[in-house]
Amino acid sequence: MRYYALWLEKRNVNKVLVLVCTIIGYVFIVPTLSPLPDVEPYNEKRALQIAFFLMVGSLLLASPTVRRQLFSEVQCLPSSTRWGLGLVLVGGVLSSLSAPSTFYAFLEVGHFLLLLVLAGTVATAVRQAPRQIERWILGAVALGVVLYAVFFGVGYGMYLTFEEIRLWPEGGTNYVNIRFFNQYQTWTLPLLGGLLVAIPKRWKNARVGVLGLIALWWALVFTSSVRGTIVAMAVAAIGVALLFRRHAKPWLLAQAAGLFGGLLLYHLLFSTEGGLKVVERFSEERQYSGRLQLWLTSLEMAWAHPWLGAGPMHFAWPPFHFSTGAHPHNAFLQWLAEWGLPSTGIMSGLAVWGGWRWMDQERRAAEEASAASNGVRVALVGSVLAAAAHAMVSGLLVTPISQVFLALVGGWAWGRYQFKQKPVTVPSNLAHAVLCVLLVGAMGVVGSSLKDLSTVEERRDALIEAVDRNRFSPRYWGQGFLHVRDSEVIDRARRDR
């Protein structure tokens, strides 16, 4: 009987690890490769994310034991946190019912619910096999960056060989907008630094290789003329320095060495492009004024719809807002405008309070941990801080790859946190039934959104006819504004502008 119990426990652990492997596979392959070349990059990454969600949801529906483990992870959360998340879900449903485009509002609610389930699954796996999951995540991040380095190297070689090939990023990045690639860098740069610190000093070749990846990442930051990643990494560096003090020094030195190497690599590879593009970018005022206008629009929407918001995803509803962005490039203001003041207050409070409790626990644990362990600890905190800072000026809450990294890194942090209370009750059949109903509903609405891929060209043409620009505004899909093929909606938008 004892051996059967051990075998059953191992089998259940393996099921959770299979779910985590699918997440790791996504962050390894999707940022660089194009399994669906006929679909433009943004829609491709979203379609693959949806397929990935459906697979994870199906495995959860088919496995009561994995659901029970997920329940145990949720039961460890303080009751105030569980109630807060429940109220946010109820508020999202009520907001969706009152929104002009009910389907797309429910689509975002279901999408975020699946992201939360995904994070909980990662937390469960981390709780069961912390060292193994840590190695898998860092290994997948490093291999993903290696894969993109090969992609970049092949493109650079073609640029040197053929006159008609343009230099990166103009020559092709596998991203519809360079900012989406920079979001990927924001998540991974801190983790690469942690990996460098964690690698034993006797593995010199591996350390040199990871340092080379960090330098390449910084060089691509400089040539892509992005400000968000620069600011995010500065916030992360200051944050971990204040939190961990001397324990953060190896990670900070790794990032400093990578930054210096990135500058040298930039001048070696992109010397024909003149000075640092990012310096020119910081001096542009037009971008700042455009961002401020989007933020003012969010405040106007929140003032008009304070309690339930305008509706999830409804910053992209043309009569509310029909300018150059389908989201305000600020996670806080996006939630405020679309989900309302109470939901924003709960989510902000949970994020700040929970984040601080976790970071303080990591800070105290660093006093007795090894240097390699602290390198990973500092890197994870740095990744969270960098992403949080970047989300205040960009769409990290919107784009597919950033959302998956949010679930992966957030779930990793959740799984590392040591709760004072342990689950004391076994989830009832009713609890299982409620979770299954939520999963089926979320999977149904998210899966049915794939039908939008059949009307991509029509929706693009409709947007171009409705506005005086030929640039698209991504939200859930590459053309993010809702119902642009509905003439009545567009007429309302034009009257209200």
Residues 386-405 have pLDDT tens digits of 999 999 999 999 999 999 99
Number of Cβ within 10 Å of residue 431's Cβ equals 16
Number of Cβ within 10 Å of residue 51's Cβ equals 15
pLDDT in tens, 452-494: 999 999 988 888 888 877 788 899 999 989 988 888 888 887 7
Is residue 32 within 8 A of residue 151, CB to CB? The reply is yes
pLDDT averaged over the chain? 89
Widest pairwise Cα distance in the chain: 73
Q: Which residues of 142-172 are buried (b: 16+ CB within 10 A; e: fewer)?
A: bebbbebbebbeebbeebeeeeebeebbeee
* Residues across the chain: 497
**What distance in Å separates the CA atoms of residue 410 and residue 412, rounded to the nearest whole number?**
5
Number of Cβ within 10 Å of residue 212's Cβ equals 15
**What distance in Å separates the CA atoms of residue 401 and residue 144, rounded to the nearest whole number?**
12
**What distance in Å separates the CA atoms of residue 435 and residue 67, rounded to the nearest whole number?**
8
**What distance in Å separates the CA atoms of residue 414 and residue 384, rounded to the nearest whole number?**
12
- Return left, alpha or beta for 474; rule: phi > 0 is left, psi -120 to 50 is alpha, else beta: beta
CA separation (Å) from 385 to 240, 464, 486?
Answer: 9, 38, 41
Report pLDDT for 298.
94
Question: 265 Cβ partners below 8 Å, 6+ apart?
Answer: 215, 216, 218, 219
Q: Report which DSSP code applies to 167.
A: P
- Give the pair of three-digit tokens for residue 206: 């591996």
Report pLDDT for 325.
84
Question: 89 Cβ partners below 8 Å, 6+ apart?
Answer: 109, 113
**What distance in Å separates the CA atoms of residue 278 and residue 258, rounded to the nearest whole number?**
17
Closest by alpha carbon to 105, among 309, 348, 319?
Answer: 309
Parse the chain into domains and list their residue ranges: 2-455
Closest by alpha carbon to 319, among 301, 299, 340, 334?
Answer: 301
Task: Name the stretches of the chain with pLDDT < 50.
Answer: 1-12, 285
Closest by alpha carbon to 447, among 111, 95, 118?
Answer: 111
> What type of residue is 43?
N
**What distance in Å separates the CA atoms of residue 202 and residue 332, rounded to the nearest whole number?**
45
Instruction: Kindly state the percentage of the chain with pLDDT values over 70.
Output: 92
**What distance in Å separates the CA atoms of residue 431 and residue 172, rounded to the nearest whole number?**
48
DSSP, collapsed to helix, strand or coil, labels residue 187 as: helix
- Give the pair of three-digit tokens for residue 94: 């009520």
Report pLDDT for 10.
46
Question: Helices 341-365 and 400-416 sit at what angle, rounded to 10 degrees?
Answer: 50
**What distance in Å separates the CA atoms of residue 137 and residue 133, rounded to the nearest whole number?**
6
Closest by alpha carbon to 128, among 83, 68, 180?
Answer: 68
**What distance in Å separates the CA atoms of residue 187 and residue 204, rounded to the nearest whole number?**
25
